[in-house]
């Protein structure tokens, strides 16, 4: 990760990352270590599928632990409820209307918090970048791979977002 690049995340997003890291470190990794130890005790490891798969899975888990640790370490935590601003900033929930009269609501969140189903968009996405710094009543033109989309900003709020809990599945 580029040191100059910010890793903004909401309070709830950080909790979700910490819960995921905790699960890998204290539940999943020990479980796989036990499988590898059991499989190694069986003898010949060269054709032992449990051992080979277990070692591969441990490498994946260790990689995920390193990734999550770096994300948490570099996180710049923002609490949307503490923001008092007339302009759109990270953590804002923004209600817009498009050129077809369709109302949409977007929440501007960190890279690890996006959820298309909830309209949680990254501050680095085309829509997120276009909205940042704007005010109620402003027109916004968003350039996407599908073309330009025009929005008018109707409402800006700063609320605690339900990012959801870490789910193993």
DSSP 18-80: HHHHHHIIIIIHHHHHHHHHHHHHTS--TT-HHHHHHHHHHHHHHHHHHHHHHHHHTEEEE-G
Of 23, 48, 77, the position where a domain reaches its end is 77
Query: Mean of the per-residue pLDDT values for the chain?
Result: 92
Whole-angstrom Cα distance, residue 28 to residue 103?
Answer: 42
Number of domain units in the chain:
2
* Kind of pairing between the strands at 75-78 and 93-98: unpaired
Task: Give the pair of three-digit tokens for residue 44.
Answer: 């010949």
Q: What is the pLDDT of residues 84-141, one digit of tens each?
A: 999 999 999 999 999 999 999 999 999 989 999 999 999 999 999 999 999 999 999 9
Q: CATH code at 24?
A: 1.10.287.180
Q: What is the DSSP letter of 87?
A: B
Q: How far is CA 136 from its chain centroid? A: 26
> Residue 2: pLDDT above 50?
no
Residue 135 CA to residue 155 CA, distance in Å, equals 8
Query: Is 166 domain-assigned?
Result: no
CA gap 139, 56 in Å, rounded: 51
Give the model's pLDDT for residue 106.
97
The pLDDT score that the predictor gives to residue 4 is 54
Do residue 84 and residue 140 come from a single domain? yes
Residue numbers of the domain that contains 117: 79-157
Last residue of one domain, picked from the residues 77, 95, 128: 77
Distance CA 21, CA 31 (A): 15
pLDDT at 3: 39
Confidence band for 165, pLDDT divided at 50, 70 and 90:
confident
Final residue in a domain of this structure, among 33, 62, 77: 77
Q: Is the pLDDT of residue 6 over 60?
A: yes
Whether 168 is in a domain gets the answer no
Q: Is 164 inside a domain boundary?
A: no
Going by pLDDT thresholds of 50, 70 and 90, the confidence category of residue 166 is confident
How many residues are there in the chain?
169
User: Would you say 39 and 54 are in contact if contact means Cβ atoms under 8 Å apart?
Assistant: yes
70: in domain: yes
| pLDDT above 50 for 68 | yes
pTM attached to this predicted model: 0.82
């Amino acid at each position: 990760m580029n040191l100059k690049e910010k890793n903004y995340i909401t309070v709830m997003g950080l909790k979700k990352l910490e819960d995921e890291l905790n699960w890998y470190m204290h539940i999943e990794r020990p479980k796989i270590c036990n499988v590898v130890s059991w499989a190694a005790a069986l003898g010949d490891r060269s054709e032992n599928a449990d051992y080979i798969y277990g070692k591969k899975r441990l490498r994946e888990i260790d990689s995920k632990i390193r990734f999550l640790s770096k994300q948490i370490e570099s996180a710049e935590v923002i609490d949307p409820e503490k923001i008092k601003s007339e302009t759109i900033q990270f953590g804002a929930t923004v209600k817009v209307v498009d050129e077809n009269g369709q109302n949409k609501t977007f929440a501007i969140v960190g890279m690890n918090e996006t959820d298309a189903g909830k309209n949680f968009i990254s501050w680095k996405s085309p829509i997120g970048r276009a909205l940042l710094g704007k005010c109620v009543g402003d027109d916004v033109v968003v350039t996407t791979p599908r073309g330009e989309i025009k929005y008018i900003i109707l409402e800006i709020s700063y609320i605690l977002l339900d990012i959801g809990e870490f789910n193993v599945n």
